[in-house]
Amino acid sequence: MASKNSVAIINEIQRKALADLASVSSIYELQQWKVFYLGRNGKLTSILRNLRTLAPEDRRNSGIAGNQAKLLLEEEFNSRVMEVEKSSISSKTSEDSIDVTMPGRPFPSGGLHVITQTLREVCGIFTSMGFSVAEGPEIEWDHYNFEALNIPKDHPARDMWNTLWVDFTDEEGNHPMLLRTHTSPMQARIMENNTPPVRVVIPGKCYRFEATDATHEWHFYQIEGLAIDKGITFADLKGTLYEFARRFFGEERRVRFRCDYFPFVEPGVDMSIDCFRCDGQGCKVCRNTGWIEILGAGMVHPKVLAGFGCDPKEYTGFAFGMGPERITMLRHGIEDIRHFYTNDLRFLEQF
Ligand code: DAH
């Protein structure tokens, strides 16, 4: 290659390269341009690589011209990159384009229903005290829902639970199946498969044939508790439920037990906490009494224990049942139980 020729060729490449560069409008095209002219096998690089085959004088002139062209093209390339980047950002901010700097739309994520949260929290408190958790059927036999709990057929105590019967009759024409009216039938089911010591909580859905209003639903949850062992006393019942109340409603809570009647316990009680809104002074939440009832409980009735196969002279136990909707309403100041199950996201999303 003659040196005059080489210098001319270099100048020609440079001219062509600059013209091409001016018409390049994207980063992708810029990269292609760079490979074509300045890349390892690019036009200019090839010429520079072959310089050593020229005569010394030619080599010098072509070398100078080649290196100058290389520097110039690199400089022009860099400034063109900046121009192209700038114009692509400004075009992105124009009206009909996407603004890549905007924060993304939040991904709509689900959450646990507030009652599920309560169930888990309550079960968590009891498991930390050594209880296990069990679940059972919502369609239940009369036997477990009533008979095994000392509520015989035609006994007036059945009126305490307005029952939804399942349309199924046995040979005698009775309806022995129902939607469980409470979680207490699980006491008998647990005792069929376990021997004391037993400590268990049972969360689950219950049903009653009742008109709904602000404090009643025809379907709702309960959490049942059962502890059976040798030497369990009423003090154990009080201590356990007192600890639960403090953990769920706050360290300062005081509790009150009053006699109540449930056929499957003796003595039976209801437990109240002092009102956390007014600290027992009297307000709307506690209906000016200073106390709020939160659950029913008692010492398992000797007849019921015997039915479980436990000798009442040897074993004793306590049981309790609470309504998670009620304690959730108290905690959050919710005034109508029907909010929980009407699926209004404005309500549900608050928790
Ligand atoms: N099952 C009762 C109800 O639905 C609540 C209850 C009261 C459960 C006393 C118990 C208990 O285990 O000992 O009204």
Judgement on whether residues 126 and 165 belong to the same structural domain of the protein: yes
CA of 147 to the centre of ligand 1 (A): 15
pLDDT tens for 192-229 read 999 999 999 999 999 999 999 988 999 999 999 999 99
Task: Indicate which residues carry an active-site annotation.
Answer: 161, 182, 208, 222, 265, 319
pLDDT tens for 18-66 read 999 999 888 889 999 999 999 988 888 888 888 888 888 888 888 899 9
Q: In the numeric block, which tokens belong to residue 119?
A: 């169930």
Helix (H, G, I), strand (E, B), or coil: what is residue 129? coil
Judgement on whether residues 182 and 64 belong to the same structural domain of the protein: no
Judgement on whether residues 64 and 121 belong to the same structural domain of the protein: no
CATH number where 126 lies: 3.30.930.10
Is the pLDDT confidence value at 3 over 60?
Answer: no
Is the pLDDT confidence value at 167 over 90?
Answer: yes
Model pLDDT, residue 4 = 57
Model pLDDT, residue 198 = 98
Model pLDDT, residue 93 = 57
Average pLDDT over residues 6-16: 90
Judgement on whether residues 79 and 145 belong to the same structural domain of the protein: no
Ligand 1 surroundings by CB, under 6 angstroms: 182, 184, 224, 262, 265, 296-298, 319-321
Does 105 reside within a domain? no
Judgement on whether residues 30 and 140 belong to the same structural domain of the protein: no
Judgement on whether residues 312 and 166 belong to the same structural domain of the protein: yes
> What is the residue range of 86's domain?
3-92
Using most ligand atoms within 8 A of CB, pick from 320, 322, 326 the residue to mutate for ligand 1.
Answer: 320
Does 106 reside within a domain? no
Model pLDDT, residue 1 = 45
Query: In a 10 Å sphere around its CB, with 0-12 CB exposed, 13-18 middle and 19+ buried, how is residue 57 labelled?
Result: exposed
Percent of the chain with pLDDT over 70: 97
Judgement on whether residues 69 and 137 belong to the same structural domain of the protein: no
Judgement on whether residues 88 and 132 belong to the same structural domain of the protein: no
Q: How many CB atoms lie within 10 A of CB 262?
A: 24
Judgement on whether residues 14 and 140 belong to the same structural domain of the protein: no
Judgement on whether residues 247 and 118 belong to the same structural domain of the protein: yes
Q: How far apart are CA 5 and CA 104, in angstroms?
A: 58
Q: How far apart are CA 67 and CA 88, in angstroms?
A: 32
Is the pLDDT confidence value at 6 over 60?
Answer: yes
Does 99 reside within a domain? no
Contact in structure between 129 and 243 (CB atoms under 8 Å):
yes
Does 57 reside within a domain? yes
Using most ligand atoms within 8 A of CB, pick from 178, 179, 262 the residue to mutate for ligand 1.
Answer: 262
Model pLDDT, residue 94 = 58
Does 63 reside within a domain? yes
| Domains held by the chain: number | 2
Does 101 reside within a domain? no
Judgement on whether residues 230 and 133 belong to the same structural domain of the protein: yes
pLDDT tens for 88-145 read 766 655 556 778 888 888 888 899 999 999 999 999 999 999 999 999 999 999 999 9
Q: Which of 22, 57, 92 marks a domain boundary?
A: 92
- DSSP labels for 282-301? --TTTTTSSEEEEEEEEEEP
Judgement on whether residues 88 and 118 belong to the same structural domain of the protein: no
Contact in structure between 46 and 52 (CB atoms under 8 Å):
no
Does 204 reside within a domain? yes
Q: Which residue owns the Cα nearest ligand 1 atom 7? A: 296
